[in-house]
Each structure stands twice: as C-alpha cells, then as structure tokens.
Amino acid sequence: MKTADGIVVIHNGQLVDGTGRAAVSDGAVLIEEGVIRYAGPRADMPDVEDDAARIDANGGTILPGLVEAHFHATYFNIRALEDLDIKYPVEYVSLLSSVNCRLAVECGYTAARSGGCLFNVDVWLNKAIDEDLIMGPRLATSGREICSAGGVMDWNPEFRRIGMEGLVFIINGPDDARKAVRTLVKDGIEWVKTYPTGDAAAPDINDHHTLCMTFEEMHAVVATAHNHNMKVTGHCRATEGIKNALRAGYDCIEHGTFMDDEALDLLLERDVPCVPALYFEKASVELGPEFGLPQTVIDGHQETLDGGIESAKRILRAGGRLGMGGDYGFGWNPHGDYARELTFFVNEVGLTPLEVITCATKTGAEIMGRGDEIGTLEVGKLGDVLIVDGDVLADISLLEHRDNLLAVLQGGVIKAGRLAEPFPTLVKQE
Ligand SMILES: [Zn+2]
C-alpha cells in the first residue's frame, strides 16, 4: 500500500493515541513518508517546513484507525445459514467483498482480521488492497473454515449430496484436520478459523452448548498450522469448547461466551485475546422477529448475549485482552455498522470509551500480529489515523456515523472522510 510523500501534520484536536494513556487535549501528529515521527502535545511538536500538508481536526478527536477483529469480507446480507455458503458464484462474491472492504475504510476501519471467508477471496482481496487497486483495510487473511462432520457448519442433510465447498472444510478426525490446514497453507492465509462449538443459530442439533470438534482434531489443526507459521482461532461458545481450544494451543478465541474460572485461567496463562462480537447477538435478538428467526433461535441469542457480556467483563477486569469485531454481514447486522460494537461495550458492558478504543485499536493490531506497525499513534508506526469531528471520549457513538469522520488515513494518505478526494485519484493509470 502506497504511503504519503513528504510531511503531513494533523493538529487542532484531542489526541487519543490508542495505548490506553489519557487523551492529550491539544495534540498533534506528524507523519513523514507515511510513518509517524511525532505524536503528542502540539506545543512540543518539532518545527516543520511551511509547505507541509496540514489537516485541521476542527477541535475533534485524533485517534488510530480502527481495527475490525472479526471481519467477514465475503458475508453479504445473510438471512439464513444457507446464505453463508455458495449462494452466489465466486466471481460475484469477490465483487461484493470489495464493496465491503471499501465500506470498512469509509467507516474508519483501516485494518481488519478476517474471521473466515468463502473460497480464498481474502488473499486476493488483500493483494488488490495492498496494490491500491481497491480501497480496503489492511487485512490479516483467513480462508475456508474448518468444522467436523455433523457440526454447526455441516447442516446440509445427506440427501442433498452437497457439503460446504465454498466456506468450510468438513473434517472427520485429526488426519482430515491436517489435510485441511495443509490446503490452507498452499492458499497463503494467515489465520485458520475453526468451529470448536455450535451456535444459537442451530438450536436443534448444534446449539451453543454443543461441541463440534474433538480435542484431537483441534490439536492437529494447531500443530499443523503453527508448523507453517499460521495462527488458529475458533468459534467458541460452550465452556468445554473454550477450554479445549486453549489447551490445544489456540492463538485467539472468538466469542468466548461461557467462561468459567478455569477457562479464564487458561486464557490468561498465555494472554490469549478474545473477540466477543456481542452486538451481533443483540441485533439478532432485537431484529430477529422482523427477519423471521424462530423463537428458539432468538432465545439462544439472548442466552449467548447475557453469557458473553458476563465473560467479557471478567476477561477485561482480570487483565485479559479483548478485540472489537462483530460478525457483520448479516441482514440484521450489516457491514457498515461496525462501530455499534464499540457503543455496545460502553453502554452495556461498562467499558470506558478510552478502554474500548484501546481494544479497537492496539489490541486489534496485536491480534492481527501487526502491533509493531499499526494500532497506536506512536513514533515509528504507520500513519493510519482516524479524525473525528467531535469528542469521542464524551460520546463513543459518534464513530457510528460516517458523516462525523473528517478523515481516514492509511500511511498518511487520506482515503475517506469529509476531507477525502474521490478515490480514483489515488490510482494513476500509466
Ligand atoms: Zn464470524
């Protein structure tokens, strides 16, 4: 991804640097050749040439670009489990995904960690983003997910004679698990996404208390993935599934819904981050009836919402790490609503806006494995910056509305927001 030429100075706003430190009321950020050279009080900023580009934050908030830590680029207006798979051919899925990626940047999300995708779309999206052909978040890629036969992602009954060719490898035993990971190795992905447990979406045979992979299968996934420098995460709701994943060596836990003391200890032992993705549950409960979700499914989402809130509180209070991301791409939880997760965590989980911003920036970058490059506004990091017209610490929900975003920068280049040029000017056809 190209970075800005010369010097860019952002001034006239409170600086929230993403480290968790208190805001600097009159802050400034100096970016040189796309890299942060100074971030702190404006009064202490080194002198710069008169011809440096200047961005006036209008008395608002200067913070790191946000990180969506559970992003599904290929999900689009999903209304039922069946929509997750090959509803459309891969050609159209790719186009839809690029629209989602552009939208993420327009919403202030300059980076994202994938939570799984159809086919191998992530890797190719990432290439197009990296080469500035399309606009999108810096992406930690995933690919097809892994779930055991009869598990939550293997819902097609036998008479249909189809599996989940688009989204999921259906495995039977550790040998199959290794085979699936080895396929992903060749595809070039970074994160292996698995399904240790079921979900409220499948109340009859694979609900949120059901295990969908054995420990042996999960261990085989981790051993193979780690050997090839890939990381492993999993959809973990049931308590025993969370523990299996942590004992198997998972690098991240998605949802972590029903944590008991032992699960929490296992999580903290290796400082494994967790991405609760709770707003999805709330949206499912609130809008489920409108979308025709059965009452048993809605009841299950309420239970996972309650359990998830409790577990998230415990993790944060115990000094654990939470990433902010939310399974966006469903009809009732569409792409573009990403920042609702942040508001939810302030209003209903009890985090302060400063805490939630740290989760959505620094921790997100750490989960991606790029904490040394992005996630905070510190010297040496890339100039991925979000400038908001208003005091985000007083009202976190300002982030929900694109109209409030003055500028979204990647590597010092303004990509979106009110101050952005139309995107095509970024691509110069020779
Ligand atoms: Zn997901």
Task: Considering only residues 429 and 232, tell me which one the structure prediction assigns the higher pLDDT.
Answer: 232
Q: Which residue in 214, 254, 215 sits closest to 232, CA to CA?
A: 254
Rounded distance from Cα 327 to ligand 1 centre (Å): 5
For residue 59, the SS3 value is strand
pTM recorded for the entire structure: 0.95
Average pLDDT over residues 58-81: 93
Tell me the average pLDDT of the chain. 94
Instruction: Name residues with Cβ closer than 5 Å to ligand 1, which is an ion.
Output: 115, 327
Alpha-carbon Rg for the chain, nearest whole angstrom, is 21
Distance from the alpha carbon of residue 324 to the mean position of ligand 1, in angstroms: 12
Side chain identity at residue 315, one-letter code = I
Task: Give the residue carrying structure tokens 């010092």.
Answer: 412
pLDDT band at 315 (very low <50, low <70, confident <90, very high): very high
Q: Which residues contact 30 (CB under 8 A, 6 or more apart)?
A: 7, 8, 9, 10, 36, 37, 38, 39, 45, 46, 48
CA of 30 to the centre of ligand 1 (A): 36
Helix spans in 252-360 (H): 261-269, 279-287, 295-317, 340-344, 353-358
- Distance, CA of 155 to CA of 202 (rounded, Å): 9
Q: What is the pLDDT of residues 324-352, one digit of tens each?
A: 998 999 999 999 999 999 999 999 999 99
Query: What per-residue confidence (pLDDT) applies to 152?
Result: 87
CA–centroid distance, residue 143 to ligand 1 (Å): 12
Q: How far is the CA of 152 from the centre of ligand 1 (A)?
A: 13
Q: How far is the CA of 29 from the centre of ligand 1 (A)?
A: 34
Q: pLDDT tier at 423 (50, 70, 90 boundaries)?
A: low
**Contact criterion met (CB below 8 Å) for 351 and 95:** no
Higher pLDDT, 357 or 165: 357
Task: Name the residue with tokens 């968790």.
Answer: 20
- Cα–Cα separations (whole angstroms), residue 52 to 25, 39, 133, 410: 23, 16, 27, 17
Separation between Cα atoms, residue 420 and residue 204, nearest integer Å: 49
**What's the gap in Å between 318 CA and the centre of ligand 1?**
25
Q: How much is the average pLDDT of 130-142?
A: 97
Q: Which residue from 276, 214, 216 is spatially nearest to 240, judged by alpha carbons?
A: 214
- Cα 250 to Cα 292: distance, rounded to the nearest angstrom: 35
- Residue 212 CA to residue 159 CA, distance in Å, equals 21
Q: What is the pLDDT of residue 248?
A: 98
d(CA 105, CA 338): 11
- Whether the pLDDT of residue 429 is over 60: the answer is no
CA-based nearest residue to 69, from 406, 331, 338, 340:
338
Q: Quick one: what percent of the chain has pLDDT higher than 70?
A: 97
User: How many CB atoms lie under 10 A from the CB of residue 143?
Assistant: 28
Output the CA–CA distances (angstroms, integers) from residue 148 to 84, 151, 155, 180, 342, in the order listed.
17, 5, 11, 11, 33
- The secondary structure of residue 111, as a DSSP letter, is E
CA of 115 to the centre of ligand 1 (A): 5
For residue 421, pLDDT beyond 90: no
- pLDDT of 201 reads 86
**Above 90 in pLDDT, residue 246?**
yes
- Count the alpha carbons within 13 Å of 184 in the hemisphere toward its beta carbon: 36
- pLDDT tens by residue, 213-239: 999 999 999 999 999 999 999 999 999
Rounded distance from Cα 116 to ligand 1 centre (Å):
7
